Amino acid sequence: MRACTETVEQGLYTRPPYTLSREDSEHPLILVCEHASRFIPAQLNDLGLSAEAAREHIAWDIGALALAQRLSDTLGVTLLAANYSRLLVDLNRPRHAPDSIPGQSEIYQVPGNRDLDETTREYRRQCLFKPFHTRLQTLIDQRIAQGRPVRVVGIHSFTPIYYGQPRLLDVGVLYGQANDYAQRLLDGLGRHPLKVAGNQPYKIDPLGDMTVPVHGDARGLEAVLIEVRNDLLRTPEAVARWAGYLAPLL
């Protein structure tokens, strides 16, 4: 019998939990890409998913990292990006949200997440969730201590088909308290031939979201999530086009 501090996943998370780019940027913006990677340690056998499902939107936000990197390059801004799949632990969910470590994601069962003991769940949080959010908090703390303005923007993508239903939206701006900043983004995006909406295809929920409520709204900072439909981010040219839409507005 394993001791209470042991888990079968002990030692699996050897890759750094995040990649931090342009840490010393003087720009007020901090970009965050919580669902940047679909990486799952080989020993976990893709959590029992088929190879096709493990490449799908349930494992990561397809195209989001490419867009975040392009924006970081274009604007010279800090980017904090996750190095593990959201299926191991979702960095944009509170620790104890029901879908933080999902046994099912959309239409896909995730066998490797079912019946996990609490020791293993906490191990994932300590290895992956805590370092990411501690680093983001520290970045914000340092800038505030220096008297610098701070904005936090999460870069996400969403699937064009959800539970069998098409989504016609091109891009959404999700926000809680940052009404003026979000409206500026919505107005700017609306000047292009795009289907744009606020708080679609999702809404910010303090019980179900992490980045905007915790690192933005709770600290009185401008914070939003950008959601681009992932079939619009499948080529370098498409990513460059979206960076062109967003960079002047952020």
The pLDDT value given to residue 5: 61
User: Which tens digits make up the pLDDT trace of 52-99?
Assistant: 999 999 999 999 999 999 999 999 999 999 999 999 999 999 998 989
The pLDDT value given to residue 103: 87
107 has a pLDDT exceeding 90: no
Three-state secondary structure along the chain? CCCCCCCCCCCCCCCCCEEEECCCCCCCEEEEECCCCCCCCHHHHHHHCCHHHHCCCCCCCCCHHHHHHHHHHHHCCEEEEECCCCCCCCCCCCCCCCCCCCCEECCEECHHHCCCCHHHHHHHHHHHHHHHHHHHHHHHHHHHHCCCCCEEEEEEEECCEECCEECCCCEEEEECCCHHHHHHHHHHHCCCCCCEEECCCCCCCCCCCCHHHHHHHHHCCEEEEEEEEHHHCCCHHHHHHHHHHHCCCC
Q: Which domains, ranges and CATH numbers included, belong to the chain?
A: 18-246 (3.40.630.40)
User: Which tens digits make up the pLDDT trace of 114-150?
Assistant: 989 999 999 999 999 999 999 999 999 999 999 999 9
